[in-house]
Structure formats: C-alpha cells, structure tokens
Chains A and B, each alone.
Chain A
Amino acid sequence: MLLKPKGKKPSRRQFLTAAAAAPVAAVAGRVAAQETPDPAIVEKQPWNQFLGPGVDEAPYGMPSKFEAHVRRQNVPWLTADPVSSINFTPLHELDGIITPNGLCFERHHAGVAEVDPSQHRLMINGLVDKPLVFTMEDLMRFPRENHVYFLECAANTGMEWAGSQLNGCQFTHGMIHNVMYTGVPLRLLLEEAGVKTSGKWLLPEGADASGMTRSIPIEKAMDDCLVAFKMNGEALRAEQGYPVRLVVPGWEGNMWVKWLRRIEVGDKPWHHREETSKYTDLLANGQARRFTWEMDAKSVITSPSPQMPIKHGPGRVVVTGVAWSGRGTIPRVDVTTDGGMNWHQARMSGPSLDKSMHRFYYDFEWDGKPLLLQSRAHDSTGYVQPTKEQLRTVRGDNSIYHNNGIQTWAVNEQGVAENVEIS
C-alpha cells in the first residue's frame, strides 16, 4: 500500500465549508429564550399519529434512515484497486467502546472471500504429533471464551507520518475496531495436535485468493490467541473472515488471519511477504525493524474533530475519544485544549478491559476561542503516548506503520476542526 498521494486531488471539499455555514448561537451559556412555539412540539409529526411498520418488516434490523451517513469510507488514492484495499471505521460517529459489526473497517488483499462454512476446513500440520483437520462443527465443540479486543491495522495513521494529511479521525485513525469475540483458545487446538518441542513458530494461512500468511511465535499462540467464529454475538461478517478468523490480541491487525484454513507449526519464521516487504519499519538510516507486533498505546479525540465540528457555539462541550494499548489497559487519558500548555485528566467511562478500546470524556465550558485539542494515553505498563515529533526523532520520516503519536485538532471560533501539527 502506498501512503502518500500522487498528483490527483479530489475536486471539492465538503465538510469544512458545510460546517462553517452552520448557524452559530450568539451567546455563551444557556440557549436564548424561544420566541415562537416550536413546531416540533406544537405540530403533530407523522410518527405521532400514524402506525409504523409491524414486526418482521426488517427480519435483520438496520439503523434508522437518519443515520445513513454513518458509514465506512475508503480513500481512493491510497490503493490501486478496491479489491486489495482498505476502508475506515467512522469513529467520529461512534460512542462507548464496541464497534458495530457493519462499521468495522475492512482490509482485503483479494476481495471478500465468500466461504461456504460446510466446505471450510481448518488444518494443523507441520511439527505436531498428529496433523489434524477440523470442520466448523468440530471447532464448535471445543470450550469457548469471550473477549473484547481492539484490532488495529499497523498502518493506522500511517498517512500522517510526513505531516497532517487527512481531515477526519475516520481517515487518520479509522483502521481500528473493537468487538467481543467468541472463539476457541488456539492453545487447545494446538494441544489437540500435540506441538513437538522443536515447534517454535506458527504460520496461519487464509483461504482467500491472497492466501494471507504471517509468522507468529508459539508463546503468543499459547498465551491468548483465539480461533474466533463470532463477533458481538453473531457470526463473523464475511468481510471479517467468516466463518473463522485468528485473533491475536494487542498485535497488528495483519496477523489476525481471516478465513483461517491452516496453521503450520515450524521451528523458524517464514519471512513471508507481509512480514518483509510490508509490515517492517524502515528507519532513517535505511535499516528496518521487523516483527514489530505489539501496538503501542494510542488515543484520539473523536469529537470534536474535522467531521464533527462544534455546531452549537460557546458553552458546554463534550470532548470524547478512544484510547487503547496492545500491552494492557488504559487507566488514564489526559486532554489539553491549549495545545499542551496545560492538561486535564479525562473521565474514563465504560469497561476497562485488557487490549480493548477505552472511552474517555472531558466536559468543559467553551469560551468560543480557538482550541488546540489533544489527548494523551497512559497504559497499564506506565507507557505514555508520545508526540509525533518524539516518534520521528527515534524513527525518522520513512516509517509507514505504528504511528501512535498524539493527534492535534485545531478548532476555530466557528467550531470548525482541522487536522494540524503544532510546535
């Protein structure tokens, strides 16, 4: 995937101008008194009077039509073809910690495989006592576990390495989702096959036309990996690897092989395409780190943000965002409104789970002056999210992956937010 735009630009911009045109309340604090009766109250609305659709109208329910704008989106100039591409979770529209299944970002290397579960098999071979084949029915008979984990693409925020580029946290931070998985601990399947003492690495492989493979050390596999078939209680979505995917908690999303059909056990890593040509981190000196699996602690303010301007004028504002770490939980997030001169501890709300997204809020009184909003995550190991400048000092400008630097949104007097970098 190329991460810098080439030549052509989209012809027109929308949300900034749209937001700027929104009416701005004239006074801070309480809303001005209503002078004429509100039609929303004194006039009957159709739904007050007439009957709505009955049950079964939508056997699989969809969001209200007024939420049609809440959708995944891609950045067409990023990749050559939508069949091997990525789109982005609309983080700015979401709250809490769980990503709805239909909004989880997609990344495919050969399109969405439409796998018939009755024809799907999972094979374990290589350095095992007994190479085995499991059907989906077999997998369903192992003891299951439930865990909420974030899945973040290592390239999330990769377009921002060279500087502010995309206006919207959907685009800067939307290669992530957070769902509850139901699945079988990978350890149980490996024990069923009996890993030989020389077995130190795994090669999970997908059934799609890209035959996705990654090398995973046996310690991780035995620790917390899952072979999952449900997300948020229902079957995996086809685009998330139906009928079965690998879950590699806290580690880069590319390793979470979808449409999982085979796991080979070996004594060395394979150094396949996705762990050499891709997903290695080129540093300033021309050398590259490999096997950078863990996702560093990171956070972003999802509202206000470029796609979520402040439309109501001065007064109470809810600043909210998400934070996560591949090394544990997020006990604390700090928020600044003045570009980091002064910080305030945000309020965490919702479950705090290992390697899961966390939700934070900072509620404050806006005086209508320009803001420079940032959030800074602290994880349970004591790691503090660095600035982008701190990261560049260590890694240079040629990295693509693992950009977890602090994000800045500049909010102007009209409440319009923009992606900026600050001194």
Chain B
Amino acid sequence: MSKFLKFAAPVGALMLAVPAMAQDNYGLGRAALPEEIAAWDIDVRPDGLGLPAGSGDVWTGEEVYVEKCAACHGDFGEAVGRWPVLAGGQGTLSDEDPVKTIGSYWPYLSTVYDYVNRAMPFGEAQSLEPDEIYAITAYLLYVNDLVEDDFTLSNDNFLDVEMPNADNFYMDDRAETELPLFASADVCMENCKDSVEIIMRAAVLDVTPETDTEAEVVVEEAAAEAEPAVTAEAEPAVVAPDPELVAAGEGAFRQCKSCHQVGEGAKNRTGPQLNGIMGRTIGVVDGFRYSRTFAEAAEAGEVWDVDNMAAFLADPRGAMEGTKMSFRGVRKEEDIAALIAYLQSFAE
C-alpha cells in the first residue's frame, strides 16, 4: 500500500504525458459487448445505481417471501435454525447479545435488493424478477416495522426509504485508536506480573467437535468399495433401477441438495432425508416437522409410489397443497424419471 502511494503521483503524471502507453499494453482480451456487460452487471449501489425499473407491494411481497424465503428465514424473518434472522433486533446493538437484522443493523436498503437478486433464493440464485425483488424488499421493510402494510416499493421511491442504523458505521480507525496502544517499543520480558490465575476454561462449555476420525475413514473406505458393486449388478434382490437413469438422477438431484440429503449418513436439513423414501408411507421421517398436508397423508397411510412422486416433483404445491417445500417443480419429464430412479437406489 505504502509503495503505491509513494509512486502513484509520478506514474499518473507519466500516463498523462504519454497517453499511448496506457493503451494496448499487451493486446490481450477482447472488447466486452454491451449485451455481455448487461448480462453480468447486476450490482446495485446505495445511490441507486444499478436499480432496474419495477415495483412491488408488501402483500405481494409476503406471498413471494412465504413461498421462496420462509423455509429458511421464517414467516416473519425470525429465521429457522441457524439461518439468518432478517427482522427485529432494534435497540439491541449494544446489548450482550445483539441481534443484527436488516431493520436493526443494515445501513443501506440497496444491499437487500442487490443480495436477494444475486444470491437468493439459496440454491436457486438469480431466478427472481425485479418486481418480485421489490415486493420481497417491501415485505422485509414491513416486518421490520419500517413501512405500513399498504406500502409499495419501486425504483422511484427506493432512495426515500431511510434505514435507521445508517449513521452508525464509520471507517476503520484502528490506525488511530489501536496501533499506538499496541505498538510498545520495549515490551516486558521478565517479572512482568506477580501471579497468574486461570479465569476461564474451554472445557466448561464443551462445544468442541469430536475428532473421531478413524470411524469416519472406515465409513469412507466402505463407501468407496461399495461403488464398483453397483455397476457389477450384484444381487438384484429387488428390481434394481436402471443404472443410467440413476446416474442421470444423481445429476438432477443437485437442485434438491440445498435442502435434502440422501445416502449414507443423510440427515434432515431444511427438508427431510430421503433414504428409502420410495415405497414408504408419506411424511414419516423421524425428527422432521412436516406440514399439515403431509401429516394428514401419513395418518391416512398413503405411500410414495412412482406416480404420486412424479406428480409431486412436477408441481409440489399443486400435488400437495400446503407443503413447506418451496420449490418450483422439476420441468423435464426425463429428470423426474431419473430422480425417482435415483431415490429408488437408496434403501432405508
């Protein structure tokens, strides 16, 4: 850094004097087309630069939010599990346990638009339309008590919204406030204090992960050994799914992975683990809190088969009204067949 500051002025002066030097230094790369820049340049700044035209109101926002966001962030931004809390926390920033949310902490509303647009929904990034993002942003302002329920947010009034914590950020001042304190030329080396007491121990909390590595290694080795057996078509006790379809299904399953696990050691995540799901009663995985529609299916003893699974995968909310699975559905029929074959390949 210091090196640059020292040389910055002379280099700049040189470039002004000999402008040709600044051009085509290496002649590498090609001109970016306007369409290419438009495709990638989606960032939004606090001054509104980058905001597209559009608008959305709180109620539309609630609908979109409940469908696309609530599975992780909770219906009112209160969050599920360890996913980020988005609402509340006002007045807690100097408490023992501050709650940093959009309403209590974020200095700029543009950050909400930019982040939702570039990275959300988790596992399906950049799938929302501008109007949906304005609506979600309006809803997030509403659950943070920053607007009324009749509020509509648009690119026209975006800069009018004031974020309550905007003035509580300031530029890194360690150079003034810390470096002089921590830069003592002569540190103490001998007889620096009379006594020393232990005042806190990590063992009391006991939150260190276990390091039972041997067991994990054995599991991995076993899994590695098991792989060739599948291609060798060993012991087809039940009708084994077509290996090619299973392989295709493994690819298609990537869109499910952000919420579901399947296979050895699969655990419930945002969605239940899926081992042995085909042929089993609907909605009975231990430890998973199902929607009412799934609980009812479980009570009625309904079983997952190829047909109802295909219907559910194609249109989750159409097939199981009220499901918590906020996923738009699998578009291609061949992907549905492949996914079912893939799920069939995992026993209980």
Residues of A within 8 A of B (CB): 2, 4-6, 9-10, 12-16, 68-69, 71, 73-81, 83-84, 109-110, 123-126, 129-134, 138, 141-142, 163-168, 171, 188, 191-194, 203, 205, 209-211, 213, 219-220, 222-224, 261-262, 264, 266, 268, 270-273, 276-277, 280, 282, 284-294, 296, 306-307, 334, 338-345, 372, 376, 378, 381-386, 390, 394, 397-398, 410, 418-423
Is A223 in contact with B198, judged by CB distance below 8 angstroms? no
B201 in contact with A164 (CB, 8 Å): yes
When the two chains form the complex, which single residue of A123, A341, A394 contacts B32, counting CB atoms closer than 8 Å? A123
- Annotate B80-100 by CB proximity to A: 1 below 8 A, 0 otherwise: 011110000000011011101
Contacts of A211 in B (CB 8 A): 42, 118-119, 125-126
> What is the interface of chain B, defined by CB distance below 8 A to chain A?
1, 3-5, 8, 22-26, 28-32, 36-37, 40-47, 49, 72, 81-84, 93-94, 96-98, 100, 102, 105-108, 110-111, 114-115, 118-119, 122-123, 125-126, 168-174, 177-179, 181-185, 187-203, 205-214, 217, 257-258, 269-270
Taking CB atoms, residues of chain B closer than 8 Å to A130 are 31
The 10 closest A-B pairs by CB, nearest first: A339-B196, A286-B94, A419-B202, A80-B82, A286-B93, A211-B118, A223-B4, A131-B32, A132-B29, A164-B202
Measured CA separation A125–B30 after assembly (Å): 12
For B212, what are the chain A residues with a Cβ–Cβ distance below 8 Å?
Answer: 14
Contacts of B84 in A (CB 8 A): 277
Q: Is the CB of A343 within 8 A of B192?
A: yes
* Residue contact B199 to A422, C-beta cutoff 8 Å: yes
The answer to whether B181 touches A13 (Cβ under 8 A) is no
A133-B211 contact given A164-B202, A272-B43, CB 8 Å threshold: no
**A323 to nearest B CB, angstroms?**
15
**Residues of B close to A272: CB separation below 8 A:** 43, 111, 114-115
Closest A residue by C-beta to B16: A197
Given A210-B119, A386-B182, A83:B258 Cβ within 8 A: yes
- What A residues does B193 contact at CB under 8 A? 340-341
B28 pairs with A277, CB closer than 8 A: no
- Complex-state Cα separation, A264 to B191, whole angstroms: 55
Q: Are B189 and A287 in contact (CB under 8 A)?
A: no
> CA–CA, A282 to B107, complex, Å?
13
B181-A390 in contact (CB<8A) = yes
Within 8 Å by CB of B168, from A191, A284, A287, lies A287
Contacts of B30 in A (CB 8 A): 132-133
Give B180 Cβ to nearest chain A Cβ, in Å. 10
A75 surroundings in chain B (CB, below 8 A): 207-209
Q: Taking the nearest CB of chain B, how far is it from the CB of A302, in angstroms?
A: 15
| Interface contact B125-A289, CB-CB below 8 Å | no
How far, in angstroms, from A398 to B104 measured CA to CA in the complex?
Answer: 15
In the complex, which residue of chain B has the Cβ closest to the Cβ of A345?
B189
Q: Which of A138, A280, A420 contacts B201 (CB 8 A)?
A: A420
Determine the residue in chain B with the shortest Cβ distance to A342.
B190
The answer to whether A9 touches B209, judged by C-beta atoms less than 8 angstroms apart, is no
Residues from chain A with Cβ under 8 Å of B31 in the complex: 130-133
- Highest count of chain A CB atoms <10 Å: which of B29, B30, B32, B201: B29
The answer on a CB contact under 8 Å between B82 and A2 is: yes
A132 to B125, CA, bound (A): 25
Q: Which residues of B contact A294 (CB under 8 A)?
A: 172, 174
A273–B152 CA distance with the chains assembled, in angstroms:
23
B170 touches A74 (CB 8 A): no
With both chains docked as a complex, state the minimum distance between the C-beta of B205 and any C-beta of chain A, in angstroms. 5
